[in-house]
A = this chain, B = another copy of it.
Amino acid sequence: MCGVIGIFGHPEASNIAYLGLHALQHRGQESAGIVSSDGTHLRLVREMGYVSDIFNAERLAKLPGFAAIGHVRYSTAGDSVLKNAQPIAVDYSAGSLAVAHNGNLVNAEELRARLEADGSIFQTTSDTEVILHLMARSRQTTMPDKVADALREVRGAYSLALLSETMLIAVRDPMGIRPLSLGRIRDGWVVASETCAFDLIEAEFVRDIDPGEMVIIDKTGLKTVRPFPDSPAHRCVFEWVYFSRPDSTIAGRSVYRTRENLGRRLAVEHPVPADVVIPVPDSGVAASIGYAKESQIPFGQGLMRSHYVGRTFIEPSQSIRHFGVKLKLSPVREVLAGKRVVVVDDSIVRGTTSRKIIGMIRSAGAKEVHLRISSPPTIGPCHYGIDTPSRDELIAASQTVEQIRAYVEADSLGYLSAEGLRATVAPSQDGADGGELCDACFSNRYPIALVPPARLRQLRLISA
């Protein structure tokens, strides 16, 4: 998963981009980068690691200019290398060009093979680079036309920020699968994956960029075009369920309130007599508060989250039960011992973590443990930019709810229904523009057909 930001018309554009990336850090903690423009040169800083570790005053000073784009990235194993970090930036015949991409293209491999056969040399294994090569080969003469030319050949999910020496372009795929919002910052403009970035940098939210819309910003101001044929919107429902930050608003709906309401609905659908409702922090907090309110069962902080978890922890050879989870979460015995506990989380992926958490709650003395999930069973992988594991690793793809309950060793297990999810996220008053939701991970109904293999081949050349 990734987050993007773009700034145009601010004297400290890269500094603002950096703060915005901080607010988007939950969308990708593996690498981060910023490209700035001073009107003549693009300048790039890009590294593996956290935003706050990569950037400092000295480095930001090397990114001068009135415009910038930034990117945070999380990727699955294998291609987690610096050269795939974003923004990707190149020189080509028309000048310099950088791109930051949230989403996933499904026909990238096919396009790449065609471009290579015509003599293009790729630098990365990223699907995003295909867009740059399509632009480099476009016979169009303006940057917006080159972008449109290139994007009419790709299929998939994309919210993009593109930067040349003099222009910022933000564009969202015709289905609008991944979010992208527009704001004002003083006299300039900002686009970002989530509205929470606007709050930190004191930008004013203007509106969401529409599915299929291309926004073109340069010194003459902002223009908008719709270069693609009409297509029904399919916003990703998982942004509300889990991915976005609670203090963001997507398509006009508060993420926090939506989650609290999912918890309330969950309490209605799956009530249980209990002494305390606790969240799995931090993902289950808002839903658990909703569950507690609706059910009138007291809320408690039964699990504490550590703030100091490093990337590589060394387990003693004489192993400790539930080791990995214990480093992240600690049970508060006083809240759990002797109690009937409802524990609320947003989803179950493989089931292994839920199993460990429930084991930990029981070790702390809980009498009963009831697991409640604020979304339906996850039965399909995402092909549009969220890093879910493959289908055979998804426990709900092959197991019944009762089998899952037995595996995680809960006394009871309740998932929110698909109807409950849909009714809560997209209530009827959301009128004409709301469009469909993409809930492929819960329904196996994929709005864009896949072109197997969806994943780009590995680079044959290896930086040892």
| Complex interface: chain B residues within 8 A of A184 (CB) | none
Given contacts A116-B92, A256-B301, A289-B299, contact A202 B462 (CB under 8 A): no
Over the window 76-112 of chain A, the binary record of Cβ atoms lying under 8 Å from chain B Cβ atoms (1 yes, 0 no) is 0000000000000111110110100000000000000
Chain B CB within 10 A, most for which of A23, A43, A313 = A313
Assembly CA distance A165 to B15 (angstroms)? 44
Tell me the minimal C-beta distance from A147 to chain B in angstroms. Answer: 15
The answer to whether B121 touches A41 (Cβ under 8 A) is no
Number of interface residues of A (CB under 8 A): 101
Provide the bound-state CA to CA distance between A306 and B19, in Å.
13
Find out whether the CB atom of B136 lies under 8 angstroms from the CB atom of A12: no
Q: Would you call B119 and A335 a contact (CB within 8 A)?
A: no
Q: Which of B40, B57, B117, B461 contacts A90 (CB 8 A)?
A: B461
Q: Which of A333-361 contact B (CB under 8 A)?
A: 333-335
Please give the distance in Å from A193's CB to the nearest CB on chain B.
Answer: 15
Q: Which residue in B136, B321, B326 is a CB contact (below 8 Å) of A119?
A: B136
Distance of A139 from chain B, by nearest CB (Å): 9
- Cβ-defined partner of A330 (8 Å) among B120, B199, B334, B461: B199
Q: Are A314 and B44 in touch, CB under 8 angstroms?
A: no
- A459 interface residue (CB < 8 Å to B): yes
Instruction: For A43, give its contact among B62, B326, B462 (CB under 8 Å).
Output: B462
Q: Are B301 and A254 in contact (CB under 8 A)?
A: no
Residues in B with CB closer than 8 Å to A326 are 199-200
Residues from chain B with a CB closer than 8 A to the CB of A445 are none
A92 nearest in chain B by CB position: B121
A42 partner residues in chain B, CB cutoff 8 A = 460-462
Could you tell me if B12 and A316 are in contact, using CB atoms closer than 8 angstroms?
yes
Are B334's CB and A57's CB within 8 A?
no
Q: Is A311 within 8 A of B254, CB to CB?
A: no
- The answer on a CB contact under 8 Å between A59 and B289 is no
CA distance A92 to B93 in the complex (A): 20
Closest chain B CB from A279 CB (angstroms): 9
**Contact at A463–B44, with CB atoms within 8 Å?**
yes
- A132 x B136 contact (CB < 8 A): no
- The verdict on A256 contacting B286 (CB below 8 Å), with A91-B459, A136-B119, A464-B43 known, is no
Q: Which positions in A face B, CB cutoff 8 Å?
A: 11-12, 15-16, 18-19, 22-23, 25-26, 29, 36, 40-45, 50-53, 55-57, 59-60, 62-63, 89-93, 95-96, 98, 116-123, 132-133, 136-137, 165, 186, 196, 199-202, 245-247, 254, 256-257, 282, 285-286, 289, 292-293, 298-301, 304, 306-314, 316-318, 320-321, 326-327, 330-335, 459-464
26 contacts between A and B (CB under 8 A): A15-B314, A19-B320, A23-B330, A25-B307, A25-B308, A40-B460, A41-B460, A43-B461, A52-B308, A56-B314, A89-B461, A91-B122, A92-B116, A95-B460, A119-B120, A119-B133, A119-B136, A199-B331, A201-B320, A202-B321, A245-B304, A247-B330, A247-B333, A256-B301, A256-B332, A292-B299
5 further A-B contacts with Cβ under 8 Å, apart from A118-B137, A256-B334, are A43-B461, A50-B308, A52-B309, A121-B123, A196-B330
Listed from nearest, the 5 A-B pairs whose CB atoms lie closest are: A52-B310, A119-B137, A62-B464, A254-B334, A93-B116
